[in-house]
Amino acid sequence: MPRVDPNLVKRTAMFRQPLAALLVVVVAAVAVPQYWLFLATSALVSAVALLGLGIVGRAGMNSLCQLSFAAVGAWTVAQLNVWSAPGTLILWTVVGGVVAMPFGVLIGLPALRLRGVHLAVVTLGFAAAADVVVSAINFPGVDSYQQVMRPEFIATDRMYFVYAGLLFVVLSLAVEWVGRTRIGASWRAVRFSERATAAAGTSVAGAKLSAFALSAFAAGLAGGLLAGQVGMITAQNFGTIGSLALFVVAVMAGGEFVFGALFGGFLIMFIPEFFRRAGISQDWANVLFGVGAVQALSQGTSISEGFAKRLRARRPAAVPPAREPIGGGRPPLGAKPLLEAKGVGVRYGQVTALQEVDLVVPEGTVMGLIGPNGAGKSTLVDALSGFLPSAVGSVTLDGRRLDGLPVHRRAGAGLRRTFQQDRVPTGLAVDAYLRFAAHRLVTRDELEEIRGFLGCPPGDAHVADLDVGSRRLLEVAAAILAKPKLIILDEPAAGLAHAESLALADRLVEVPARYGASVLLIEHDLDMVRHACARIVVLDFGAVIAAGPPAEVLARPEVARAYLGGEEAALT
Ligand SMILES: Nc1ncnc2c1ncn2[C@@H]1O[C@H](COP(=O)(O)OP(=O)(O)OP(=O)(O)O)[C@@H](O)[C@H]1O
């Protein structure tokens, strides 16, 4: 049997769901009886809005006002229709989507500070307010009974269904494509960890606002599509309860997936109809959706996500290559200072976590930062990388003052860091994560080289399927791939077996010469520190108590005392 090129399979993966959706639309266009066409078109309208909800869902946010954005799109289309603007309904619908975008950004602004239920309340408030506004004033053309005109070729219900289907397919292709760009990866990343997103040089605000803007665009398209379908729109089409139902179905079916959106659209339109035919109140459909959403939330996966997981589970597990120690000595201690921190101090209320710490990391070296639990190591890393704006003192990297710069700008200036707990977004594949976190264009060769160098799993392995040790290595790989001047690794060996820690130490030793970055290694594994570092600095109670070559420093009694709490023995 001829072998299929795996790279081609990977590259075409984003087309799979949209093309399958196209097939569904084509079959339905031929097979659906005239009677059901209106409902089927409405299902596509809802599916378009659900795709948009899936975008904010990818970024880990909730929006309960999707139909308010749809109302903006519908309003725009109705107004352009009244004005007989050029471009026909097709262009008006796109304009409606674009006009909805600033509203998305406006509603996204609170998301910069609010999360979870608080954000949901804000969006619900907007939905309620929009509901009141559109109920109080008629849509354009309603007073004069002016129907939204469809162009000739989509005048029939069947052709309009095909048009709605094609619009859904094009939008889903666009969403899948954006999902594979750095913007899409930033949505996944921000959902997993805002701190790690910023540390990877990406603006958290940009990620959140772009998700809201594109989500509103999709909703605006849905509104325009609806205006063309029904001809004359009213406030009832965009009620708060409708927005809530849409959200609940997105949670249940999985709006983040093309098929989840399509399936959700089908449920929203056809379940109430089935109830009606069975002589049951249609309101029971919302109860059913609510139960489905509770079920999805309690299981932690939507229907589509569960399906995707089962498909992934059938693939063989990714086996990372063995990470054997490769030997080699410590890097030289560079002469030129790269990072210079002076008088860095941090207080948490009454606790002084850091007291006027001075630290110099030279160019071209691996330096260790050690100290007992609570010594202030992570606090120092947070202060250096910009997570503690209240920190006092000054930080200079390669002669550039970093003081006052936010986290992502410091990352852009060449300071990369990792975290004590791994922060690799589980929604991405290995190479997608590396590309995102590198924050620059990386070649396939570079990806393969860094994965091989550190012994990371294959590029198409899914992060969610990896063990903790492999994820830690991925973080290190991503930091190196970003080509920074300084990489601060906060306990990178947590989760690795001892032999693997030493193997990682061997690799770190090579980093300055091979990739041109210095490394500041925070680690409790003193074997690893001895193995990798040309110099170490010891913190205790927020102050530097010793600095120098590892063997010499670890032999000092004050260092042993800090670690062992009073015993005078040297740390061997
Ligand atoms: N958000 C916070 N609020 C109050 N106190 C804090 C906070 N974060 C850290 N501290 C305190 O600041 C001091 C330094 O903590 P830090 O986490 O920087 O130490 P560490 O050396 O990184 O410890 P470990 O090795 O256990 O990670 C500790 O006394 C800790 O309790």
Ligand 1 center to 351 CA (angstroms): 9
| Average model confidence (pLDDT) across the chain | 89
Of 344, 357, 359, 378, the one to substitute when testing ligand 1's pocket (max ligand atoms within 8 A of C-beta) is: 378
Q: 521 CA to middle of ligand 1, Å?
A: 17
Band of residue 467 on the pLDDT scale cut at 50, 70, 90: confident
Q: Is the pLDDT of residue 332 over 90?
A: no
Q: Which residue's alpha carbon is nearest to atom 4 within ligand 1?
A: 348
Of 195, 346, 347, 348, the residue with max ligand 1 atoms within 8 A of its CB, to mutate for a pocket test, comes to: 348
| List of residues 6+ apart from 26 with CB closer than 8 A | 165
What are 50-78's pLDDT values in tens digits?
999 999 999 999 899 999 999 999 999 99
Q: What mean pLDDT do residues 381-403 have?
A: 93
Q: How many angstroms separate the alpha carbon of residue 564 from the centre of ligand 1? A: 19
Mean pLDDT of 201-218: 95
Q: Which atom of ligand 1 is nearest to the CA of 375?
A: 21
Q: Give ligand 1 pocket residues (Cβ under 6 A).
A: 348, 351, 353, 371, 373-379
Nearest to 533 by CA among 544, 517, 522, 545: 522
Residue 125: is it exposed, middle or buried by C-beta count within 10 angstroms (0-12/13-18/19+)? Answer: middle
Q: What is the ipTM of this complex?
A: 0.94
Going by alpha carbons, the residue nearest to atom 14 of ligand 1 is: 376
**pLDDT: which is higher, 178 or 330:** 178
> Is the pTM for the entire model greater than 0.95?
no
Q: 354-372 as b/e, with b when 16 or more CB fall inside 10 Å?
A: beebebebbbbbbbbbbbb
Q: By alpha-carbon position, which residue is closest to atom 5 of ligand 1?
A: 348
Q: Which has the minimum average pLDDT: 9-23, 165-179, 418-432, 499-513?
A: 9-23
Check whether 44 has a pLDDT greater than 90: yes
> Residue type for 511, please?
V
Q: What is the pLDDT of residue 308?
A: 82
| Residue 111 binned pLDDT confidence (cut-offs 50, 70, 90) | confident
Average pLDDT on 24-29 reads 92
418 Cα to the center of ligand 1, angstroms: 16
Which of 373, 379, 418, 563 to mutate to test ligand 1, by most ligand atoms within 8 A of the CB atom? 379
Do 208 and 112 touch, CB atoms closer than 8 A? yes
Residue limits of CATH 3.40.50.300 in the chain: 337-564
Distance (angstroms) between ligand 1 centre and the Cα of 157 equals 65
Q: Which atom of ligand 1 is nearest to the CA of 378?
A: 22
Number of the ligand 1 atom closest to the C-alpha atom of 349: 4
Check: CATH 3.40.50.300 for 337-564?
yes
Across the range 236-245, mean pLDDT stands at: 90
Burial class, 223, CB count within 10 angstroms (exposed 0-12 / middle 13-18 / buried 19+): buried
3-class secondary structure for 142-208?
A: CCCCCCCCCCHHHCCHHHHHHHHHHHHHHHHHHHHHHHCCHHHHHHHHHHHCHHHHHHCCCCHHHHH
Alpha-carbon distances, residue 479 vs 259, 314, 415 (angstroms): 35, 31, 9
Partners of 392 in the β-ladder: 345
Bridge partners of 415, per DSSP, are 486
Distance from C-alpha of 513 to C-alpha of 545, rounded to nearest angstrom: 30
Residue 326 pLDDT grade (very low, low, confident, very high; cuts 50, 70, 90): very low
Query: Does residue 21 register a pLDDT over 70?
Result: yes
Give distance in angstroms: CA of 228 to centre of ligand 1: 59
Distance from C-alpha of 432 to C-alpha of 13, rounded to nearest angstrom: 13
Q: 541 CA distance to ligand 1 centroid (A)?
A: 10
| Beta-bridge partner residues of 489 | 521
Q: Cα(542) to centroid of ligand 1, in Å?
A: 9
Is 330's pLDDT higher than 80?
no
Distance 195 CA to ligand 1 centre (A): 17
